[in-house]
Every structure is written in C-alpha cells, then in structure tokens.
Structure 1
C-alpha cells in the first residue's frame, strides 16, 4: 500500500508539472512578442542638404491632374479647357491620368482612391480641389507666393532618365514635406470618344462638329511612371529651413516611350499629400534651373 501511495503521489506530481508546462506554453502564445515598429517606407536616404545658399524668390506653378479615359466622351472637353489654360499661362502644368484604357498605369487605382475620383471627367488642382474647368478659378493659386522652388536635371543614358532634383527654401517650414517625381509622355495617339459630336446641347462647342470617335486623338502628358513613392518621399523637417537646398538623385526606365515626347514633372507637397506647394517640369534630356 505504501508503494502504491508513493507511485500515486509521484504520478500526480508529474501530471502537475506537465499541466503547468502546457499552461505556460499557452500563455506565451496568447502574449507574443510585440510586432516590430513599421519602417517608414517613404523615407529616402538619398535626400541631403547640398547648399545653404538657396535663391530668394521662386515662380509659383500649379499642377492640374486630369483623370480621363478614351471611353469617356466628355473628357476631351476638359482636356481642351486644360490646353487653353496652359496656353494662357505657362505656369500651369498638366498630367493625364488614364483609367480604364490602354494608357492606364499601375498607379491609377491608388490615385483615384486617395483623391476620391469616382466621376469623369475630373481634374484636381494641386491635389487640393476639383477644377471647375474655369480659368479664373486657377488665378488664386497662381497668385500665391511660394516659399520653395524646384530645379531639375534629366539626362538620358542607356534608355534611362538619370537625374537630380533640387529643392530650395526661402523661408522656414516647420514640418516635414513630401516630394514626387514622375515621367509623362506627351502626344500619345489613341481613338477618343466624343459625346459633343452632333449633340444639339453643345452646338457652339469646338468639338460639336468633330466625329466620334476622334481618330488618332493626341493625349497630352500621359502618366507613365514614378521615380518616388506615388504619394511622395519624405523631406525631413530638419532640411526645410531658410536658405537650404535639398537634393536627391533619381532614375526611371524609358521602356518603349518616345523619348522626344517625354518629360519629368516634380512637385513638393504638404505632409498628408493633399496640397502641392510648387511644381516643375523639364523635357527629358534637358535641365531646368530654379526660376
């Protein structure tokens, strides 16, 4: 009997240790090690301060982003208004962001979600407001004094654009900013629907007498690629000080695009990605200094 009790006690002790061990293992699984802090995917170590002698004044330029598609019969009307605005003021820079056609880029879905684009045609002014296709609504943006400017170098080497962006500041900005660099191709030909054609509600419109589709219609400044994150790489707050010139190198493959029709567009915007502070454009193979 004594041996039986000893065996029983030893068995219970072993079982208790086993249960205790399993419980401990279970507790660990319920309280795993914390996940590592997410990396800042838009922080670009390539950005540096190259000078403390930035120009004192900069020309304010604005960006119009036209969300469009060849299937959209009203879209050539907005494109025409944008063309007229750019002819009236060269400080307006336009981009065509195509959705649902052969010119759609891999970025279109993310951009339309970010900027709540659900109807077409649709154009955004400096990523901060929807354009009403009236030139006068652009004037207040053009009249603002900019506290930063952009210079671009865009040389071509081995079917790539290899360039440098410089961003100069003439006053302190007390927060980090974002900068975006992208490639557009101008004069891309594709048939375009035209709902103005023969439409009695638009007898005075320039497109009324034109056919539908518009054969070999030239699409302006079609978005092709980004050299940065599509919503911008970060310019640290420490860099956004009076007199500083920040710079960064960039590179974009030209693929099969027509090089003579390609341009680099760069802009700086507030943190959060919805207010552009200034923009610059340069033809691939050329340089554009601060202006």
Structure 2
C-alpha cells in the first residue's frame, strides 16, 4: 500500500489527560460507509501513537465560522477576507467553512456554471434564515448587534472572541487515513465530554476544499470586494474552504444523550473524494452540536495532505 499518510489533530487530548481508562461508547450501528476493520485498526494505532508522543494537552474551545456565500455575490470576497484575517489572529482555534447557498450561489447562468452548493447547505440556509449573502454563523450561537444566530460580517470578530472565551465542554481527536490510489478517506472522531450535560448531542462531519480557482463576481473594496482582484467577473478567483460534502446528513448523527463528565464516544466514517476535487486542498471538519438548539459546542479540523 503506497503513500498512505495519517493526519491527526494536535490541538486536543493526550491519552493520559482525556482518554486513559475511559469507558467508550460507540453509538453507531454497522454501516456500509464504515471503514474496513484493518483501516479502523490503523487509525486506532495512529491515534494511540499520537497521544503517546504528544502527552497531556489541555483542551481548548475552538470555534466554527460558517461563511454563507455565493459566486455571484460581489461583496462576498470581502467576507472571505474577514474570515482569513480572523484565522490569522486565532490560528487553528478558528475553523472556517464556506457554505455556498441561496440566490447568489445559483449556477445556471454563464460563466457561473460550477455547482458549489450542497443539499445540506441549502437546507441550513433555509432553516437558519440566511436570506442574503454575505452572512455567517459563529458556532450557530446568537450574537451580534441583533442577537441573532445569523450575523453580518462586521459582527464576526466579536462573536468569535466571545465563543473562544467559553469553557470547553467536549474534547475531540480527529484522525484520518487517506489512500491516494483509491481517493478514499477514512475518518475517526473521538470525543470526550468534560462536564455533565443535559439534552442530546449530534456529530457532524463534512469535507471542505480550499483554493478552488473559478469564477467570482467582485465589487470594489468600498462595497465589500477584494482589492486583490479586479472589479467585475473574475475567472481566477481563489475560493477558500468550500464545503463539498456532508457525511452525516443535514443535522448529524446521534453522539450522546445526557452525557456525563468523562464519557467517551468513537465514530468511524469512510468517503471517496470526487475526481474533480484536489485532495491536497481537502480537509475534514467534525463538530458536535446540541440537537435542540443546534449550537456548536466543539469543532475540529484536519487537512488530508
């Protein structure tokens, strides 16, 4: 087997701090998209080696920024710049997913014929009330001047900082095994609840692709465009972290109900990358959501290459 690499998140969870001697609950039945036993064992071994080398790590709160965008939205490049600036400030504690959805993401008129949308992204936009672009959600929590889940770009920095100040309730380890010859990615998500919680919690897993060169409408800088590109229809715009696929359905798969501090869950997934996607630019993003409020309580990201 050639060129198989393991990618393991380094922001959380040493074995002795979080996972030593814990009782592990796997809430998933056997599924067709579950990796082969040899692959799950390989990921388990890679995870254990990572924990052994890294040692104890204090869990930190990470934040998910969902940037709702579209390729015919001329001020959306400015929102992407804001997201990039926030990532420079916060590093890997901020995970950004660009969700192409709504009117400005339509792909039925040249030159905008590339489909960046997903059924799940469209359903999220409808359910959360994203009626225009650019807009976003920060951990799907209420915030900003309107105290709304959907927030304008100018509200993102303060909401991100506020969410990062929260005490983490879950620690996550995300491990992937990518096989270039088959373009198959196997995924393991291990979560440890750090406090007693009520309610039900679901796990979401998505695949994103970064640095996609394609058409994008761009306004002037004063109107929210990106000054690095000309005004108008740009055929060489570099689209960041576009959500390509959702592996867990629109609202996720059950992870834990009324978890107690110290309880651990493990989940495995398998997916084959679309031939049109550049694997070197793909990432896996996993996040835990409160089923009732749909608020994100923890997120993790790992790049495939």
Give the TM-score category using the shorter length. 0.7 to 0.9
For 2:243, what is the secondary structure of its paired residue?
strand
2:39 corresponding residue in structure 1: none
Structure 1 stretches of at least 4 aligned residues deviating more than 4 Å after TM superposition: 203-206
Number of equivalenced pairs: 232
Matches within 5 A, 1:145-156: 145-156=167-178
1:37 corresponding residue in structure 2: none
Give the deviation of 1:171 after TM superposition. 1.3
Structure number, greater radius of gyration:
1
Distance 2:287 2:134 in 1: 23
1:191 corresponding residue in structure 2: 215
Matches within 5 A, 1:107-186: 107-128=120-141, 129-134=149-154, 135-157=157-179, 158-186=182-210
* C-alpha distance after superposition, 1:31-52 (max 9, x if no partner): xxxxxxxxxxxx74369xx9xx
Distance 2:163 2:177 in 1: 31
TM-score (norm 2): 0.70
Does the CA-based 8 Å contact 1:57-1:170 persist in structure 2? no
Give the deviation of 1:208 after TM superposition. 8.4
Give the deviation of 1:215 after TM superposition. 3.0
Give the deviation of 1:211 after TM superposition. 2.9
Distance 2:58 2:195 in 1: 10
* C-alpha distance after superposition, 1:37-96 (max 9, x if no partner): xxxxxx74369xx9xxxx784111111111111111111111111111111111111111
2:8 corresponding residue in structure 1: none
* 1:271 counterpart = 2:291: yes
Q: 1:273 to 1:188 in 2, by over 3 A?
A: farther
Q: Tell me, which stretches of 5 or more residues in structure 1 are unaligned? A: 1-42, 286-291
Distance 2:100 2:223 in 1: 27
For 1:107, what is the secondary structure of its paired residue?
helix
TM-score (norm 1): 0.73
RMSD between aligned residues: 2.4
For 1:138, what is the secondary structure of its paired residue?
helix
1:220 corresponding residue in structure 2: 240
The partner residue of 2:265 within 246, 269, 287 is 246
